[in-house]
Structure 1
Amino acid sequence: MPSPSASHVVIFPFMSQGHTLPLLDLSKALSLQQIKVTIITTPSNAKSIAKCVPNHPDIHLNEIPFPTIEGLPEGCENTSQLPSMEFLLPFLHATKQLQKPFEEVLETMIKSNTPPLCVISDFFLGFTLASCQALGVPRLVFHGMSALSMAIIKSSWVNASQINSLSMLDPVDLPGMKLPFTLTKADLPEETLKSSNHDDPMSQFIGEVGWAEVNSWGIIINSFEELEKDHIPFFESFYMNGAKAWCLGPLFLYDKIEGLEKSINQNQNPSMSTQWLDEQSTPDSVIYVSFGTQADVSDSQLDEVAFGLEESGFPFVWVVRSKAWSLPSGMEEKIKDRGLIVSEWVDQRQILSHRAIGGFLSHCGWNSVLESVVAGVPILAWPMIAEQSLNAKLIVDGLGAGLSVKRVQNQGSEILVSRQAISEGVKELMGGQKGRSARERAEALGRVARRAMQKDGSSHDTLSKLIDHLRAY
């Protein structure tokens, strides 16, 4: 058994910002427990990762080359570099060719008498299980989703034949699950609805990495026990060999608790968005708008967002990822005094914690939901892809910490949400009674989340227990 001083953990994130950032936060948390961390990644991703962990001497990067394969543009080492999400499947298949260099890294560690306590790798990197088993190293899997969403998805796979017979708006009953909201077939991720189609290439890949997942030693969850405790036992029932789920989140709070974030940010000049927010004199008056890094939003839909925000009358900060879209004619003049549109990367956590921010029009990716909850900011939910509809249901119907935007009924339209729906949603969230109630619930949830990460809090204690279990393994 390794001595505590020699404790060492390997972390292998999937090459996508939303998957990588929580594992970097976990790396910091482990390093604060005097555990050496080796992050395995590719050269292009190593550059951005190194910028996120500059003050952590116990965190080291080990670079392995990203393979070149047919069907994937050269130089794409991160999903943010893909021309569109149509290239996701070739990208996923390319990552399987990382198995041999990954094994070589582990073998070198073992031969040099620095074997890791475990490997924590992303769900999409299912090949890591076989390598870990061959070398006698426990593998923990990381999803980046809540336990509730994962439990719903797993149960939906098991009950696919019954669900397929339902219409999209029919309620879904999942045996053994007590849900905090009414679930319909339309709320389930597209990939889940396709899971019974064994000819679908994405379903085949998910089935492959899913088998590796359920045979792993344990599961890391970026959430907190107070939010998940009713769903953990059911979720764990899908795993083999008594694998345990470890709720360690919200992971990004480790920096705040240890005071590291402050020391890092003190050396940085305020961003344009922070300066703009500092000029807003009324607390909780600005809505923050961001749809994440993965979903493709059409130009016509972005036009509707612009008109909706303008018509709402509320100040806003809006992060736009598209490089081709520009504001509709005459709009710049209308919004110049009360709207800021930014196209470069922003520190979302910093924005959400600013006193001027009173709401978040969000795609409801799990990282964004956690960051909003911790900041006590209610969400105007507009889910787009993956399990975001489940996150939206939880935050709006299950927890009461947000509202939903109304969708256009015409499924073939490029415009999914009208300017009127955006305007009405923003007005209600920022100035209506429902919005005030959602803010109160979000603030209460934020207090619980922050307490979980403090000394003697549930997530803080769970991390200590996980380390003890691994050292005794």
Structure 2
Amino acid sequence: MEEGYQNNRDEQLHVLMFPWLAHGHISAYAELSIRLAQQGTKVSFFSTPLNIAKIKPLFASRQIPSIQLLQIPLPKVAGLPPEIESTSNLPKHLTHLFDRALDGLEAPFEKLLADICPDCVIFDFMQWWAGRAAAKFGAASIAFSTFGATFISWGMHPVWRQYKNGLTAEDLVEEPRDYPSRSVTLRLYEAAGALFVHSAPEPGAISYPERCLRGLDACDIVAVKTCAELEGKYVEYFGKVTGKPVVPLGPLLSPHVSERNADSDVMTWLDKQSPSSVVYVSFGSQCFLSREEIAEVALGLEASWQPFLWALDSDSFWVPEGFVERVGERGVVVRGWVPQREILVHPSIVGFMTHCGWNSVMEGMSNGLSFIASPMQFDQCHNARLVVEELKAGVEVGRGKDGVFQREEICKAVRMITEDEGKEIRAKAREIGQMFKNKILKDEGTQDEYMTQFVKHLELLKANGKLRTDKEIRH
């Protein structure tokens, strides 16, 4: 572990950040760390060595030297390769071993708390014991969700505790009582695919929903990567059902930095396309399509006759024979990483076909893009329905009862977004983009207000913690 701060609390607010070991979570915690540091908060950022090495360049590029990076090796677990320290390269069948290794960090984490004495611990729900450890060492605890409020107010609802055995897909399709929307629901095939997370991955372990609920039990407040302009009623609802203060932190999008030199061939191709004509297709870095799914997406894009740019994960890269030759210059398929932020702001992009991961949703909305929602799992289903049914900023790809992609539905959704029929959807998407630009992300906009209010919450927690400590000393 790198050298920590002094072993005492001082007047400057000191926050320890502890994200779950997944790229999307770590990057969100990093962005929050940067914003807290910019507000004068002392920040320590804790993870494992490989994750620290990956995130260090981000802090360096933003010129934030005041963030202390702390690392502890992930405990060794038989059967888990030592190079696996995050979910980005985690095979599904090793998930239970990864969870066991994560829980092995509890004792080293407690020692870290004793060494650096932070005022507040901001932790991810998955390591629910972090909140318990924070209380043990007199620190306030904040559970920070990188998921949106629409999802967590359903997925982390205390109602799921009543189903100790025998939870069915039909149960998951039913929204909790008083849930703010009747349209943001799971399809039956989605619910069936989500059942496994409600079971303990191995004897003696606990399910993922129970992890989250224990994290809720242990925290003082809940912070959410969202804004009231989009999810206000869900933020309010989650506070009611949990009895915890729920604080929106804004979209926490990093400032746009040009990545023009990162993939000049892609950007050069986009420059040649007509304004608002190209559909950008990406299912994220952790959604792996089968060959059958790739084929349906490919043939649907081909049939739409619409220009497209498709970023296909390198681990599942494959396209049907003859596809590239048939679409010719009309479409580009890129293997692996692309400069997504640079692509989404390009004037040739009209729509975003996405799995609806929360960060992708925020990036697409901030650029005023229409969505072709194609959720795959977990929170993505709720995000998709929020975008399509509540915000009216996209269309969802239709599927059969079994949930498989169908080329006809892919084609239909693409044409809906790009042709006259989608005028109202495109107008609503542009309206949301203008709200981001003129209200949320502008200087001294609501993003800055959210952070100012969050720091006030942390300062109050620190003050109350000192009062409790003084009282305990007096007695």
Q: C-alpha displacement at 1:26, in angstroms?
A: 0.9
Q: In structure 2, which of residues 412, 416, 419 is the aligned counterpart of residue 424 of structure 1?
A: 412
1:90-136 CA-partner distances (Å, limit 9, x unpaired): 212210111222222222213xxxxx231111111112112111111
1:460 equivalent to 2:448? Answer yes
Task: Give yes or no for contact 2:173–2:188 (8 Å, CA) kept in 1.
Answer: no
**Residue 323 of structure 1: SS of its match in structure 2?**
helix
**Residue 207 of structure 2: SS of its match in structure 1?**
helix
- Counterparts of 1:67 and 1:398 in 2: how far apart (Å)? 44
- Counterparts of 1:138 and 1:190 in 2: how far apart (Å)? 38
- Counterparts of 2:310 and 2:434 in 1: how far apart (Å)? 27
- Counterparts of 2:426 and 2:95 in 1: how far apart (Å)? 36
- 1:98 maps to what in 2? 105
Change (3 A) 1:440 1:132: same
1:206 equivalent to 2:212? Answer no
- Counterparts of 1:182 and 1:62 in 2: how far apart (Å)? 40
1:383-412 CA-partner distances (Å, limit 9, x unpaired): 11112111111111111001011113346x
Q: In structure 2, which of residues 27, 49, 58 is the aligned counterpart of residue 21 of structure 1?
A: 27
For residue 443 of structure 1, what is the amino acid of its counterpart? R
Q: C-alpha displacement at 1:81, in angstroms?
A: 1.0
- Counterparts of 1:22 and 1:57 in 2: how far apart (Å)? 18
Q: C-alpha displacement at 1:374, in angstroms?
A: 0.7
Q: In structure 1, which of residues 48, 53, 56 is the aligned counterpart of residue 54 of structure 2?
A: 48
| TM alignment of 1:2-13, pairs within 5 A | 6-13=12-19
Change (3 A) 1:295 1:166: closer
- Counterparts of 1:379 and 1:462 in 2: how far apart (Å)? 26
Task: Give yes or no for contact 2:127–2:211 (8 Å, CA) kept in 1.
Answer: no
Q: C-alpha displacement at 1:346, in angstroms?
A: 2.2
Task: Give yes or no for contact 1:315–1:339 (8 Å, CA) kept in 2.
Answer: yes
- 1:394 maps to what in 2? 386
Change (3 A) 1:191 1:24: farther
Task: Give yes or no for contact 1:188–1:387 (8 Å, CA) kept in 2.
Answer: no
- 2:238 maps to what in 1? 235
For residue 87 of structure 2, what is the amino acid of its counterpart? T
- Counterparts of 1:378 and 1:159 in 2: how far apart (Å)? 39
* Stretch moving more, 181-190 or 273-282: 181-190
Change (3 A) 1:407 1:327: same
**Residue 361 of structure 1: SS of its match in structure 2?**
strand
- 2:436 maps to what in 1? 449
Task: Give yes or no for contact 1:149–1:387 (8 Å, CA) kept in 2.
Answer: yes
For residue 210 of structure 1, what is the amino acid of its counterpart? L
Q: C-alpha displacement at 1:320, in angstroms?
A: 1.1
For residue 93 of structure 1, what is the amino acid of its counterpart? R
1:338-395 CA-partner distances (Å, limit 9, x unpaired): 2222223223222111111111111111111111111111111111111211111111
1:311 equivalent to 2:298? Answer no
Change (3 A) 1:370 1:71: same
Q: C-alpha displacement at 1:182, in angstroms?
A: 5.6
Change (3 A) 1:471 1:165: closer
Change (3 A) 1:460 1:163: farther
- 2:372 maps to what in 1? 380
Structure 1 gap segments, 5+ residues each: 111-115
Q: How many residues align?
A: 449
- Counterparts of 2:366 and 2:191 in 1: how far apart (Å)? 25
| TM alignment of 1:237-256, pairs within 5 A | 237-239=240-242, 243-252=244-253, 255-256=254-255
